[in-house]
Structure 1
Amino acid sequence: MPIVEKNGLRFFSFESFPEDEVVQGIYSRQGGVSPRPWASLNLGGLNGDSRENVIENRRRIFESVDRPVESLFDVWQVHSVDVICTDQPRPLDTPHRKADAIATDHAEITLFMRFADCVPVFFYEPEKKVVAMAHAGWQGTVKNIVAQTVRAMQARYACKVENIYAGIGPSIGPDHYEVGVDVADRIKAVLEERTGEVLRSQHGRFKLDLWKTNQILLEKAGVRHIEIAGICTACHIEDWYSHRAEQGNTGRFGAILALKADGNR
């Protein structure tokens, strides 16, 4: 089942990612210690919640999948197209590097990112045993962060694009994501003849389908295996943080992705 419950936490997992090879989870907002308006499993450290709450919430997430917090590798997400490939965790007392996609082929590393409407995109290449994760808001989407991630997996790990599995996680859906002409024009420049599949015009504004846009960009990059969660964060603020639906007064949900060590499969 895509929604898993463990240790009082609920998280989404992609069915196409093999359970015996990959540790994964995109966590709902339930089961943490943060008070309102961040209630309760907030992983965002820059929105007013206390550091102690965020650290405890992070501990609970890692504990739920039996991963040590010290295995974490995360970045300062800045809506870029920068990809960091890592062979070691980020020491918890060191500053974050800026990037919006991360990748590894080391089973002792747990990739970790934070979201609240932007699209979590997971990647897994089973032959080379590589996992990656990308953060795709509208800026990252039009800059084609997903294709940049694929290229990094190919360049660093010799991944075969036809072997890559991609998952598009819970994020704001096409019925709730309104954008202006400037964003619409940038989408048109990227998708050209396929723009009509992702943009709907409405009284001088547009509704944008980030799920379909990233699916098309993944397909253009050569990815054949794509799973879409189809869960709208703005529709379900009881389960997910939504920057749009909650007018910015909200938290961030966490996402983790890691390889299972051979002995744990």
Structure 2
Amino acid sequence: MVEAVLIDLFSLPANLQNIQGLLRNMLETIDKCSSIPAPFVYVMCYQNQGSDKDSEQESLLPPLRDFQNLKKKLEVVCGLTAAGALYTIKQRLDEKDLSVIKVILPPLRKDLMKVYIYHLFTAVYQFEFEDLQVASDCENLQISEPQSEGQRLPTQDVALIQREIQMYLESLPSLKGELTILRSFLIPGEIFLHGFTTRTGGISYIPTLSSCNLFSSSKRRDPQVVVKENLRRLASVAGFNPEAFHRVKIDHANAVFIMGKTEPDSYDGIVTDQKGVTIAAPGADCIPVLFADPVRKVCGAAHSGWKGTLLGVSMATVNAMVSEYGCNVKDILVVLGPSVGPCCYKLPHESAKEFYRIDPKCVRLIDSACPYIDIRKATRILLESGGILPENIQDDSVIDQSQNITFCTACHPDKFYSHFRDGTNFGTQMGFISIKD
């Protein structure tokens, strides 16, 4: 069932009086033909350069006076660019949690609109299209099913749309404060650039993703272009090149990618000795773990959730540094980033028993149906068992708590994302590291 109607009048001159007649006729048609009594209706128009957006929107309201039921759910959105107008409409849809949208537009606009939608939306949304045939006088119109699929846009036109979207997103203000990076005292700054992100300083506006979300998926409402803009802002503050950036492809297992070799389809660890290349591991309760060998000048990153922890992904990353680059295990420094703590994290009893076997101290209330689990302590124990020196591991057990960066993500909603706390539409932070030139 259609939840919203988007009328694309962006290619028509919004200041013409006769567009009001067009809009009136269109709303009558929607009112008569809609499968729901009063869908949310958004009218997308071009805003003339230098004009007042509110006055242009107000000029289109007279035709709506007779449609009180629609008027309450109708909004005219004017923009200097189609990207800006459509992104504003996306915000309105997200505020109301709407996902099924019917788009009524001139046939010649359809292929353009599909490119905008591809970049600004995700698979969460469903779009239907209807053709809007407009006579030269802008008064007569006909709404009909699409007659045929259009031709694919030329590559240069797609590139122009992508650039328009990018420029619009770059112009948006940062949300929830400045972009903040947490850094470890253990990793030498003269050799490595590194940090752990927090949730502030990006442009993601959906509450559970706001604001510096760094992961996009088909199940969430943050599109890849927004995540890319958040990453660009992070790179600008941190000082790395976002075009030489590689994050792990999560599988919740223990595979490790040796950069320069054939890249696996999925992996939770990555290591490199290449300078100027930033590697990263995401986390939204799972531990982003960073590795640095200042002697061999090698670094690594790993994503360690409860499954990866049990499978030994951190030691697998250490072993890759040793075997591929000749690192001495006693030279490797390991930092555990923000992650869900034993204060909040529970697992079913059967899974908890696996952590109990590592060390009873990794589990609280072992006899309960869902004991509390300390995946950080388990990670430290496995690293120390593998030869990492205790003093070369930084986690929440650091003596000087003012130097602690291994905060509980679930306990700090103002600073971090948490899948455990926020549910399926959660945001993602990450740990990153690179070797300086």
1:232 aligns with 2:399: no
**Partner of residue 272 from structure 2, selected from 91, 104, 114:** 104
In structure 2, the partner of 1:159 is 327
Whole-angstrom distance in 2 between the partners of 1:52 and 1:199: 40
1:218 aligns with 2:383: yes
Alignment of 1:31-42 (within 5 A): 31-36=201-206, 37-42=208-213
Name the SS of the counterpart of 2:419 in structure 1: coil
Whole-angstrom distance in 2 between the partners of 1:44 and 1:84: 19
In structure 2, the partner of 1:137 is 305
1:256 aligns with 2:432: yes
Give every structure 1 segment of 4 or more consecutive aligned residues whose post-TM-superposition deviation is greater than 3 Å.
none
1:27 aligns with 2:197: yes
In structure 2, the partner of 1:200 is 364
In structure 2, the partner of 1:80 is 253
* 1:87 shift after superposition: 3.6
* 1:30 shift after superposition: 0.2
Whole-angstrom distance in 2 between the partners of 1:32 and 1:162: 38
Q: Does the CA contact (< 8 Å) of 1:87 and 1:109 recur in 2? A: no
Which structure exhibits the higher relative contact order, with contacts defined as CA atoms closer than 8 Å and separated by 6 or more residues? 1
Name the SS of the counterpart of 2:393 in structure 1: strand
1:172 aligns with 2:340: yes
* 1:72 shift after superposition: 0.7
Residues 84-143 of structure 1: CA distance to partner in whole angstroms, max 9, x if unpaired? 11149x9xxxxx831000010011211022210000111111111000011000000000
Q: Does the CA contact (< 8 Å) of 1:30 and 1:39 recur in 2? A: yes
Whole-angstrom distance in 1 between the partners of 2:368 and 2:388: 35
Q: Does the CA contact (< 8 Å) of 1:118 and 1:172 recur in 2? A: yes
Q: Does the CA contact (< 8 Å) of 2:281 and 2:289 recur in 1? A: no
Whole-angstrom distance in 2 between the partners of 1:45 and 1:204: 33
Whole-angstrom distance in 1 between the partners of 2:260 and 2:276: 9
In structure 2, the partner of 1:4 is none
**Partner of residue 121 from structure 1, selected from 277, 282, 289:** 289
AA in 1 matched with 2:322: Q
* 1:240 shift after superposition: 0.4
* 1:205 shift after superposition: 2.0
* 1:144 shift after superposition: 0.7
Q: Does the CA contact (< 8 Å) of 1:75 and 1:97 recur in 2? A: no
Higher helix share: 2
* 1:212 shift after superposition: 0.7
Name the SS of the counterpart of 2:254 in structure 1: coil
In structure 2, the partner of 1:187 is 355
Name the SS of the counterpart of 1:84 in structure 2: strand
Name the SS of the counterpart of 1:9 in structure 2: coil
- Structure 2 alignment gaps of length 5 or more: 1-176, 396-404
**Partner of residue 238 from structure 2, selected from 65, 85, 107:** 65
Name the SS of the counterpart of 1:78 in structure 2: coil
Q: Does the CA contact (< 8 Å) of 1:131 and 1:259 recur in 2? A: yes
AA in 1 matched with 2:372: K
Larger Cα Rg: Structure 1 or Structure 2? Answer: 2
Name the SS of the counterpart of 1:251 in structure 2: coil
Residues 210-238 of structure 1: CA distance to partner in whole angstroms, max 9, x if unpaired? 11110101100100110113300000011
Name the SS of the counterpart of 2:243 in structure 1: helix
Name the SS of the counterpart of 2:422 in structure 1: coil
1:16 aligns with 2:186: yes
AA in 2 matched with 1:211: R
TM-score by length of 1: 0.88
TM-score by length of 2: 0.54
* 1:186 shift after superposition: 2.0
* 1:25 shift after superposition: 1.2
Whole-angstrom distance in 2 between the partners of 1:30 and 1:20: 26
Whole-angstrom distance in 2 between the partners of 1:15 and 1:249: 33
* 1:48 shift after superposition: 2.1
In structure 2, the partner of 1:242 is 418
Whole-angstrom distance in 2 between the partners of 1:175 and 1:43: 25
* 1:44 shift after superposition: 1.1
Whole-angstrom distance in 2 between the partners of 1:256 and 1:205: 32
- Structure 1 alignment gaps of length 5 or more: 1-6, 91-95
